[in-house]
Amino acid sequence: MTAMHTDAAGLMAGYIQIPTKDGEIPAYRAMPSDSKSVPVMLVIQEIFGVNEHMRDVCRRFAKLGYMAIAPEMFARQGDVSKMTDHQEIRNVVSRVPDAQVMSDLDAAVYWAADEGGDTGRLGICGFCWGGRTVWLYAAYSKMLKAGAAWYGQLEGLKNAVRTRTALEVAPEVKAPVIGLYGGQDEGIPLDQVEKMQDALHQTNTKSTIIVFPDAPHAFFADYRPNYRESDAIDAWAHMLAWFRKHGVA
């Protein structure tokens, strides 16, 4: 298995610093080098941080005409890029407050607007940890136009930093979100997916969930054993159509 590599030809791609309420956080940004007023796409990481896979996703969006920004959401708590032990990584991630994440995403949007991005066409795309973040941000943000939540946790742990689940915020989701989930995901059983779909339908939102019956968790991550090429390609196409439908293109 070879991970996909999207080159940076014709792009402005690299790290930038985003001002926040308590300093700056790094982010990877990719966008067409010769375009102005392009739609903005927030790309939200798995627990493994803004690794090469996430940077590649940003470049894929940039090749399609987006300003794609992947903020380092764990920057204050620790640098997971230098960690190989999964428990050590989880110890960092478990200390990242939802309120901080929402504020930092807003900061990324403001930065994008200052840099010429069209935040009237604002989307968000997140994977695993970032998939849960998509649901939360869609309930929180008044600026977001649409989102795509890839196999984000729907129920589970709550504490002082993770105050609500995706299922709990479902009635408050403002922007239309497409959820992309695997039918063989052992960490997110189908009964949870069905409860989320029901909760979304009851609130008359435009959000929906697509389940890929044979796909495991992380089926889009082409650098991991769970990658399923055909489902990943299909889900990516569904996502892009969703963004076009809802004015994020």
Count of beta carbons in the 10 Å neighbourhood of residue 244? 11
The active-site residue, picked from 56, 185, 222, 231, is 185
Record the tokens describing residue 38, joined without a space: 């392009």
Q: CA–CA separation, 49 vs 64, rounded Å?
A: 23
Find residue 27's DSSP bridge partners.
Answer: 16, 71
128 is catalytic: yes
The active-site residue, picked from 125, 128, 231, 246, is 128
Task: Report the 3 state secondary structure along 32-45.
Answer: ECCCCCCEEEEEEC
53 is catalytic: no
Map tokens 């010769």 to a residue: 34
Q: DSSP alpha helices (H): ranges in 12-171?
A: 52-63, 86-93, 98-114, 129-140, 166-169
Length of the chain: 249
118 is catalytic: no
Q: Is 203 left (phi over 0), alpha (psi -120 to 50) or beta?
A: alpha
CB half-sphere exposure, 24, CA atoms < 13 A? 8
Q: How many degrees, rounded to 5, is the angle at CA 101 between CA 96 and CA 107? A: 140
The active-site residue, picked from 104, 217, 222, 246, is 217
Record the tokens describing residue 172, joined without a space: 């408050």
Q: CA–CA separation, 151 vs 91, rounded Å?
A: 21
Residues annotated as part of the active site: 128, 185, 217
